[in-house]
A and B are shown apart, each in its own frame.
Chain A
Amino acid sequence: DIQMAQSPSSLSASLGDRVAFTCRTSQTIITYVNWYQQRPGEAPKLLIYRASSLQSGVSSRFSGSGSGTEFTLTISDLRPEDSATYYCQQSYSTPHTFGQGTKLEI
């Protein structure tokens, strides 16, 4: 199975900041990584697919980059509603594993 390691596990930031989370995989997955946001008590929401494509309806403050084994989710101009846990997920091979999540506090 492909292992997904997210860092940091948690992060505290301020309104208006720019933050970046990293997802590292145990083997190359080309660009088959997706990013999700999960607010407390809610279902996950797809933000980015195929490493850098912005899902329809998602704010352009979110962006993704990377290829191979290292990927980054960047959020600019932080807002209170960005407080959530962020997960990466690989769709390169089964099982389509998720990372353990990064909890962002604003």
Chain B
Amino acid sequence: EVQLVESGGGLAQPGGSLRLSCVASGFTFSNYALHWVRQAPGKGLEYIAAISSLGTSTYYANSVKGRFTISRDNSENTVYLQMGSLRVDDMAVYYCARSPSALWFKETNFEYWGQGTLVTVSS
């Protein structure tokens, strides 16, 4: 059974940092692209970052570019989202999701999702 389990959310101050982790199981991790999608309280879904199966290609939405970094450790079956210069409008539930391809830009539908981790940004 495919599982994605996020962690690392919590309270951060504006301008602060957090690192989210997503541990995967139930599939050959190094064969698939991984993505981060966030959802602000009571709002819709926003696609923010992606990484190819071998970590050689990444994508960032304009809203997080230059502040967030996506990476992965295929030996640990884990994808990370390093979040810096946090703003109040970064407050959201962050989901990690898997698409069916090794390339993040191919077949970009999200067939498996984690349960999400909540990031709160407040002073």
Classify the interface of chain B: helix, strand, loop or mixed: loop
**CA of A95 to CA of B62, assembled, Å:** 9
Which B residues touch A38, using CB under 8 A?
45
Which A residues touch B107, using CB under 8 A?
49, 91
Task: Tell me if A49 and B109 are in contact (CB < 8 A).
Answer: yes
Task: Tell me if B44 and A46 are in contact (CB < 8 A).
Answer: no
Contacts A36-B110, A94-B105, A95-B61 given; does A89 touch B116 at CB 8 Å: no
Which A residues touch B76, using CB under 8 A?
none
Classify the interface of chain A: helix, strand, loop or mixed: loop
B-binding segment of A10-18, A65-73, A76-84, A96-104: A96-104
A1-44 vs B, CB cutoff 8 Å, 1 = contact: the mask equals 00000000000000000000000000000000010101000011
Chain B residue total in the interface (Cβ 8 A)? 19
Task: Tell me if B105 and A44 are in contact (CB < 8 A).
Answer: no
Task: Tell me if B109 and A34 are in contact (CB < 8 A).
Answer: yes
Partner of A95, one of B44, B47, B109, B110: B47
Contacts A43-B95, A91-B108 given; does A101 touch B44 at CB 8 Å: yes
Question: B59 at the A/B interface (Cβ < 8 Å)?
Answer: yes
Question: A61 at the A/B interface (Cβ < 8 Å)?
Answer: no
Task: Tell me if A46 and B109 are in contact (CB < 8 A).
Answer: yes
Please list the 4 inter-chain residue pairs (A to B) with the smallest Cβ-Cβ separation, ordered nearest first. Answer: A91-B108, A43-B113, A34-B109, A49-B109
Residues of B near any A CB (own CB < 8 A): 37, 44-47, 59, 61-62, 95, 105, 107-111, 113-116
Interchain Cβ contacts under 8 Å between A and B, 25 examples: A34-B110, A36-B45, A36-B110, A38-B45, A43-B113, A44-B37, A44-B45, A44-B95, A44-B113, A46-B109, A49-B107, A55-B111, A87-B44, A89-B47, A91-B107, A91-B108, A91-B109, A94-B59, A95-B47, A95-B61, A96-B47, A96-B108, A97-B47, A98-B45, A99-B44
